[in-house]
Amino acid sequence: MTAHFSIAIDGPSGSGKSSVAKTIAKIFGLFHLDSGAFYRAVAYYLNHLGVDFLNDGQCQKALESIHFEISPIGIVLNGHLVGEEIRTSENSQIASKVSMIRQVRVFVTKVVRELSQNQNVIMDGRDIGTVVLPNADLKLFITASIEERARRRQEEMKQQGYSASFEEMLKEIKERDHRDISREISPLKPAPDAILIDTTDLSFDQVVEKVTTIIQEKINR
């Protein structure tokens, strides 16, 4: 693998892109960055401060007070390791709205670009191949049917100890898809040169095997 090899993975909520990226990072020894986690962390922080998301001045002041670092076990925001509190259904919904704010997108894009510099990296999100890493060596767009993504999200919530119906998860996924696809700034869409992978009828291991094969073919060219 050449120096500074980069892989961009995009896809909608619940497609499994983050789990795949984490596993692929271990297989190939890549530095993994989950851009969505940064948006969730920012959303949690701004909400905790009581920031009015529609107030540009308040948002900018809050963003200027944020300092991110990466530790071996996760994201560190202003000296505090963030955990599952950023992945609740409530915070995920807030993050989906916060990610539509131009200032926030500019801020997070700058942060993850800086953290990924001079490393072999795999990064997942919703605009990685189109905006954050437009020159990535390999771009993938991982998706699945909306019903399958809702089912996966429901199972994830149960594993975290939260109760959620399939109908609730389906509604949440539909709302997030609409916001991600229709937002003016960096909307969710496959990069023109991205490889599309539909995981609806694939097991996790099958997806990992498929992605591993694609990466190996890219490296060996």
Q: pLDDT tens for residues 86-133?
A: 988 889 889 988 988 999 999 999 999 998 988 899 999 999 999 999
Mean pLDDT confidence for 55-66 = 95
| Superfamily grouping for domain 6-220 | P-loop containing nucleotide triphosphate hydrolases (3.40.50.300)
Mean pLDDT confidence for 54-74 = 91
pLDDT at 186 over 70: yes
Give the pLDDT confidence of 120-169 residue by residue, as tens digits.
Answer: 999 999 999 999 999 999 999 999 999 999 999 898 888 878 788 999 99
Q: What is the mean pLDDT of the chain?
A: 92
Band of residue 1 on the pLDDT scale cut at 50, 70, 90: low
The answer to whether 187 and 180 are in contact (CB under 8 A) is yes
Residue 39's Cα: distance from chain center in Å? 8
The answer to whether 173 and 14 are in contact (CB under 8 A) is yes
Q: Which of 15-19, 91-95, 156-160, 181-185 has the lowest mean pLDDT?
A: 156-160
Read off the pTM.
0.87
Residue 64: both structure tokens together: 């200027």
Band of residue 3 on the pLDDT scale cut at 50, 70, 90: low
Amino acid at the residue 48 = H
Burial 98-125 (b: 16+ CB within 10 A, else e): bbbbeebbebbbebbeebbeeebbbbbb
pLDDT at 2 over 70: no
Band of residue 217 on the pLDDT scale cut at 50, 70, 90: very high
